[in-house]
A and B are shown apart, each in its own frame.
Chain A
Amino acid sequence: MIEVKNLVRAFKSGDRTIKPVNDVSFELEQGTLASIVGKSGSGKSTLLSLLGALDKPTSGDVVVNGVSLAGMPDGKLTEYRRRDIGFVFQQFNLIPNLSALDNVMLPMEFAGIRKSARSQRARELLEQVQLDPDKHVRRINRLSGGEQQRVAIARALANEPKLILADEPTGNLDEQTGEHIIELLSSLSRDHNTTILVVTHDRSLANKTDRRFRLQQGKLTEEPARNRPAVPAAV
């Protein structure tokens, strides 16, 4: 379970203070597939970076399975990211001089998994995201945008994280592959009890999530999902 408590991230810009995340609070049960929608620059990526311990909040706290991230030392935060978090970045952020397979194997290497085991799992994951086997050993910079996105998704799944944070995971995919990725994420949350929080502009994707949030000027509100009525995000 993820609890977000009065989360604030403020930046100084001259005399002004900007708060892309301003007093955000919500809870997500384990295994929930949730989405955040909002305009560009509304703070969606900043919120994801706070949840994924890439950045530290100005105030507030994120509690994951009862463990607070506030005040956690950097080494523990690294361990948290390695063990519990899977990122899918908007710009993929793959290592360009490595192959697709090597990129997927990287998080497993950091987790200390043996080479043969991580190689096998990496191949399975790349097959799950429908990357052609002959492209597994191809360098990232020789893959198309859509293929790179699938490799990024496979990398996020590598260590079987409890929480997947995905920034526009279907943004560069054709409709058919996008549908497949949505199915994959749904089955992960359903069958593997993985919590997935997706930032998207894709209405069809947002409509398929269990819970939908809208971030506007740093404030988060929950939208009615499927048959549920609209309620404030902060409970």
Chain B
Amino acid sequence: MSVLARSVGNAFRNKVRTAAVVAVLAVAIGLALAMLVANQAVGAKVQELNASVGTVLTVNPAGGQGFEGGGEPLTSEQAATAAGVPNVTAVVGTKALRLRNAAEAAAQAAAGQTGGPGGGQGGPGGQSTTTLTTSLTAAVDAGSLGNRNQAGDGTTGSTGATQPARTLPITATGIGAEVDSTGKALELMEGTGLGDYAADSAKALLGTTLAEKNNLKVGSTFTINSKTFTVAGLFDAGTTFGNNALYVTLPAAQTLAELPGELSTMIVTVNSMENVDSTKTALQSALGTDKADVTQGQRNLETAVSSLDSVKNISLVAFIAALGTAGLIILLIMVMLVRERRREIGVLKAIGAPNRTIGLQFVLEALVLVALGSVVGAAIASFASGSIASALVSSSTGTTTATAGQRGPGLAGAAGGFPGGVPGQGGPFGGASQLLTSVTASASPGVIAAGIAAVFGVAIIGALVPALLTARIRPIEVLRGE
């Protein structure tokens, strides 16, 4: 009979005790594995959030945002100033235009609907936007919200029974690089980009639903004011509002608006997350607080990420604590067994067993118990890890989620409503609370295997101490009681 076979036999010597030890170990190991799974899941979510938000700062004119507010427009000179701020890696200027279908605009003008305050169809405020006509028809019906938002008095519910049905405008954005107005790369479904974004070209990228509504494909043409543009590509912004939009090069938009050098926003990319705060301060200082508002798109998510980081740290500490507990259980059990079997150890020594053989026998016996505990623990972890991760996240991020929720819907509304800013802006902001609660912890074989390897490592350490104790037992113990 080999040492291993003897160890296995010894592990099952007292079946009731073995079952009790395995049960206790399984709880500790299961908790350790569940914490590891939660840690991995939260870590992955943090990475996902960081990747989704990036390191982008948005600069708007002081007192204005999108088609709202007032103040002075941004300029190309300010873009150059922003580019000179330390840690800034890129500055992309945008110029937002509001397009009206030419035929509908003429009909509404004839019906006398253009005299509303704040610029009528131009919407209230609109400090840096320009309303132009186009051959395109908006892909989104006005509906109740559109009619209400476009009402002449700018208040709710005043649609007027005699007024003809309204249509939504189309947002055209001039961009200095192939990114959307939040700084994320455009996801082109067909065609190519605009090529040289610094050139006043006649190419445009259309949202998929806008192209479909107007039966346009790559290579088709349409007009803005009297200028003909060719569809170079189709993009998918992921939202209905976002896809009712088009992009042209920044110089083309500035030419259409007859406002050369004027910018609606600047998208500033910082070299790392750690430098975002300091760069924001430096950028605000360089541009002047009375000239520009610098906003950090990920502020809410950063708080959320920080909260998730806390969960990650808590789960790591809990994993280590549970691992330590498993090791301690093994240590105590094996010390108890060594004390209980002093005489038997004496017998083995009396008949010539070397210390290392006896020690190995006890280590292997401990590992047999740990193996059984790991099997049950892995089963516990696979069932419980999801609930534990959710409980950890919800308890730790409850306050943060509430905070994000207060601001999130407002921003989402700004993007989704008619007078709002630019397409896609609401995505990563308004979805913060959903992102937080969507942490999915699944016990992958790799994570479980890594956790069990760690458990075995700790168990070996825990079993070595009692195994070394066996070396101190003298063979004369065999005569104890004789």
What residues of chain A have their CB less than 8 Å away from a CB belonging to chain B? 45, 49, 52-55, 74-75, 78-79, 81-83, 87, 89-91, 93-95, 97-98, 102, 105-107, 109-111, 155, 159, 167
Contact = CB atoms under 8 A, between A and B. Distances in A.
B206 to A, nearest CB: 80
A132 to B, nearest CB: 21
Given A81-B351, A81-B352, A97 B13 contact: yes
B475 A106 contact: no
Q: Chain B at the A interface: mostly helix, strand, loop or mixed?
A: helix
A167 B479 CA distance: 11
Interface string B1-38: 11000100110010000000000000000000000000
A91 B475 contact: no
5 contacts: A49-B476, A55-B474, A55-B475, A78-B355, A95-B348
Contacts of B45: none
Interface in B351-379: 351-355, 357
B479 A82 contact: no
B362 to A, nearest CB: 14
A95 B13 CA distance: 12
Given A89-B478, A93-B478, A110-B357, A155 B1 contact: no
B1 A98 contact: yes
Contact of A87 (B1, B13, B350): B350
Contacts of A81: 349-352, 475
Nearest to B347: A93
A84 to B, nearest CB: 9
A128 B67 CA distance: 106
A106 B351 contact: yes
Nearest to B353: A110
B277 interface: no
B343 interface: yes
B104 interface: no
Nearest to A77: B475
A78 to B, nearest CB: 6
A55 B350 contact: no
A111 B13 CA distance: 26
Given A49-B476, A54-B475, A81-B475, A107 B352 contact: yes
Nearest to A86: B351
Contact of B482 (A55, A79, A82, A89): A89
A87 B10 contact: no
Contacts of B2: 109
A94 B347 CA distance: 8
A93 B357 contact: no
Nearest to B354: A78
A106 B353 CA distance: 9
Contact of A75 (B1, B10, B354, B357): B354
B352 A98 contact: no
Given A95-B344, A97-B13, A155-B351, A55 B476 contact: yes
